[in-house]
Amino acid sequence: MLNRIQLNRSLSLQFNGLTKDGQSQSPIIDTQSSSNLSPSIQPDSIQSFSALISLNEQERLLVDSSSNEDLTSNSQLNSSNNTNDDLSKRCIKKGDYILFEPNGQADSFSTAYNAKNKKILYWKRFDEKDYMKKLEPYFIMDGASDKIYKFKEIILDSNLNSSNSIKNAYVFFDQHYGDLHSYMKEKKRLDETEAKHIYRQCVQAVLDCHENGIIIRDIKLKKFVFLDQEKTQLGLANLEDCLILDEEATDDLIKSQQGCPAYVSPEVLNPSQTSYSGRLSDSWSLGIILYTLLIGRYPFHHPTITNMFAKIARGRFQIPPSISLSLEAKLLLRSLIRVKPEERLLPSEILAHCWLKQTESENLTKKSSFESRFSSSSQVYKIPLGISLSAPGRLTNNNKNYFGKQANKIINNFNDDEDRLVPEFKF
């Protein structure tokens, strides 16, 4: 008897043409044929779309005008064509869409314009050979959460004339209204009321993924985008980087060393730890996000990533005395940013924390669930909740060398310049 998660996953894979081993069958997706135009750079603003549309309209009006126009009109037409050609070289035409080329940054969306309904969308490009495997987390989460930034359409590159041509899949998303990273750069830091509203949605999105067997691994501010223009509703984006647990798995132990440097958990950097809990590692990253929302900077930062990793391994952070936080907020922070994974709250327990003002009955239930995990260790009860005494002592030279190697491993997984510079970055 299939449970709800297995059934949802099975139906999603079958409907979208993906087998259990990740191989692509014949997906129910429209295939559009078109040719690539010259490569281009990302335009500075969506105003380029308006310019392109305006030029198309001018060209149409000039062509429909009388053939007895003078040389001035002909020169206007030629000028319009030349400018239109210049803009066209910066775009790709796929079906009804005009696509601006990506800017080359990881986790970033490029802009698209639907010439038919005149709507702005965002898009990403994947290799047609493995795009179904990349998009599998989206299929699993389809209908399972309203906190996921979902794609709406896929167009396959059907240029089959040359055997050497690279075939791509173009995945389109509805327009979003900026990510949480950019929002924090503008706001600097949030008051606790707004932080609660934002943070609750972040945790809920992660919890929904966990309940469906998906580990995020790379939780960071930039992964959350605003779904409405008022910037009140958030969605988790870029699920293609997530890890899907095996359906038969009895735990969530993983060995991946992927993560954004500023958000990576200590166990990922531990040279003696071969595997770790994916869910509790995500909890650490959620703690970094909460600290950043409330304080306005990362808890661990240093000009060199190696030294920043050493700080993360120690797990010691401070709340600036100049910033006034409620006791509940401080307790939640120190219940997440803890070196020992088993001492951290899970997403379901975060939502039940008193700082997020859940009902009293839910608080008591989740508190009992949290404490039951430590029933075999009397030492944990001697440690006041929120005061982590589990940080390691002085780092040896061997450990420092290891952090240097780990820095290279993790950085190689990222092409985003903003993520590379996080040790020195402050909002």
The reply to whether 221 and 166 lie within a common domain is: no
Is 122 inside any structural domain? yes
Mean pLDDT of 404-420: 49
The reply to whether 219 and 330 lie within a common domain is: yes
The reply to whether 39 and 122 lie within a common domain is: yes
Other Cβ atoms less than 10 A from the Cβ of 187: the count is: 14
Provide the pLDDT confidence category of residue 86 given band limits of 50, 70 and 90: low
360-404 residue pLDDT tens: 444 455 556 655 665 544 343 333 333 333 433 334 455 555 555
**Helix crossing, 278-295 with 192-211: angle to 10°?**
170
The reply to whether 360 and 377 lie within a common domain is: yes
Domain of residue 382, residue span: 180-424
Is 10 inside any structural domain? no
Mean pLDDT of 310-322: 94
The reply to whether 210 and 327 lie within a common domain is: yes
Is 70 inside any structural domain? no
The reply to whether 167 and 111 lie within a common domain is: yes
The reply to whether 166 and 204 lie within a common domain is: no
CATH of the domain at 106: 3.30.200.20
Is 337 inside any structural domain? yes
Is 398 inside any structural domain? yes
Look at residues 79, 326, 81, 293 and name the one whose alpha carbon lies nearest to residue 201.
293
According to the model, what pLDDT value does residue 295 have?
96
The whole-angstrom distance between residue 377's C-alpha and the CA centroid of its chain comes to: 36
Is 5 inside any structural domain? no
The reply to whether 167 and 274 lie within a common domain is: no
The reply to whether 202 and 317 lie within a common domain is: yes
The reply to whether 121 and 188 lie within a common domain is: no
Backbone φ, ψ for residue 133 (5° rounding): -65, -40
- pLDDT, averaged across the chain: 73
Among 33-47, 140-154, 250-264, 368-382, the least confident range:
33-47
156: left (phi over 0), alpha (psi -120 to 50) or beta: beta
The reply to whether 201 and 252 lie within a common domain is: yes
Provide the pLDDT confidence category of residue 55 given band limits of 50, 70 and 90: very low
According to the model, what pLDDT value does residue 316 have?
94
Is 185 inside any structural domain? yes
CATH of the domain at 267: 1.10.510.10
- Domain count of the fold of the chain: 2
The reply to whether 162 and 236 lie within a common domain is: no
DSSP string, 287-320: HHHHHHHHHSB-SS--SSHHHHHHHHHHT-----
Integer Cα distance of 130 and 21 in angstroms = 12
